A and B are shown apart, each in its own frame.
Chain A
Amino acid sequence: MKTRHVLLLSLLAALLLLPLVEAEARIYILQIFIFLFLNIVLAQSYDIVDGAMGYLNLGHICFFALGAYSFGILYNAGLAFPLALGLAVAVVVGFAGAISYPFFRLRGAYFALATFGLVKLMEHITINLGWLTGGSNGLKIDPADRSMPVYYISLAVVVAVILLSWRVSRSRLGLAMNAIREDEEVARDFGVPASRVKAQALMISAVFPGMIGAVYTWNVNFIDPNQVYGLKIALTPIAMALLGGSGLLVGPVIGAVFLYLAEELLWTHLAHLQGAIMGLVIVLVGLFMPGGLARLKGVAGLLGWVGWLEEER
Chain B
Amino acid sequence: MVPILSAQNVSKHFRGLEALSGVDFQVAEGSITSVIGPNGAGKTTLFNVIAGNQAPNGGQIRFRERVISGLAPNSICRLGIARTYQNVRPFLGLSVWNNVKVALLFGRREPLPSAREDAEIESVLEFAQLTAHPARKAETLTPLERKRLEIARALATDPEVMLLDEIVAGLSPAEALQMMETIRVLNGRGITILLIEHVMKAVMGLSSHIIVLHHGVKIAEGAPKDIARDQEVIRAYLGDAGEEG
Contact = CB atoms under 8 A, between A and B. Distances in A.
Nearest to A247: B93
A192 B93 CA distance: 17
Contact of B98 (A178, A188, A193): A178
A176 to B, nearest CB: 6
B94 A190 contact: no
A179 B91 contact: yes
Interface in B50-83: 51, 53, 72-74, 77-78, 82-83
A188 B102 contact: no
Contacts of B83: 189
A175 B105 contact: yes
Contacts of B51: 189
Contacts of B85: 186
A145 interface: no
A182 B94 contact: yes
Contacts of B102: 175-176, 179, 187, 190, 192
B77 A186 contact: no
Nearest to A194: B74
Interface string B76-108: 011000110100010111110010011101111
A272 interface: no
B187 to A, nearest CB: 21
A176 B103 CA distance: 10
B157 interface: yes
A187 B222 CA distance: 35
Nearest to A176: B106
Contact of B74 (A172, A181, A188): A188
Contacts of A143: none
Q: What class of interface size applies to chain B in its complex with A?
A: 20 to 34
Interface in A177-206: 178-179, 181-183, 185-194
Contacts of B82: 190
Interface residues of A, number: 21
B91 A191 contact: no
Contacts of A193: 72, 74, 106
A269 interface: no
Contacts of A189: 51, 53, 73-74, 77, 83
Nearest to B153: A190
A89 B153 CA distance: 39
A188 B91 CA distance: 12
A312 B138 CA distance: 13
Given A176-B106, A190-B107, A191-B108, A183 B74 contact: no
Nearest to B163: A189
Greatest chain B CB density within 10 A among A181, A188, A190, A313 is at A190
Given A175-B101, A185-B53, A190 B95 contact: no
Nearest to A54: B93
A206 B48 CA distance: 35
Interface string A150-184: 00000000000000000000001001101101110
A191 B157 contact: yes
Greatest chain A CB density within 10 A among B77, B89, B106 is at B106
B147 to A, nearest CB: 15
11 contacts: A175-B98, A175-B101, A182-B93, A186-B85, A186-B91, A188-B72, A189-B74, A190-B77, A191-B77, A191-B105, A313-B98
Interface of B: 51, 53, 72-74, 77-78, 82-83, 85, 89, 91-95, 98, 101-103, 105-108, 135, 153, 157
Given A185-B53, A313-B95, 16 more contacts: A175-B101, A175-B102, A176-B105, A178-B91, A182-B93, A182-B94, A186-B85, A187-B106, A189-B74, A189-B83, A190-B74, A190-B77, A191-B74, A191-B107, A193-B74, A311-B135
Interface of A: 172, 175-176, 178-179, 181-183, 185-194, 311-313
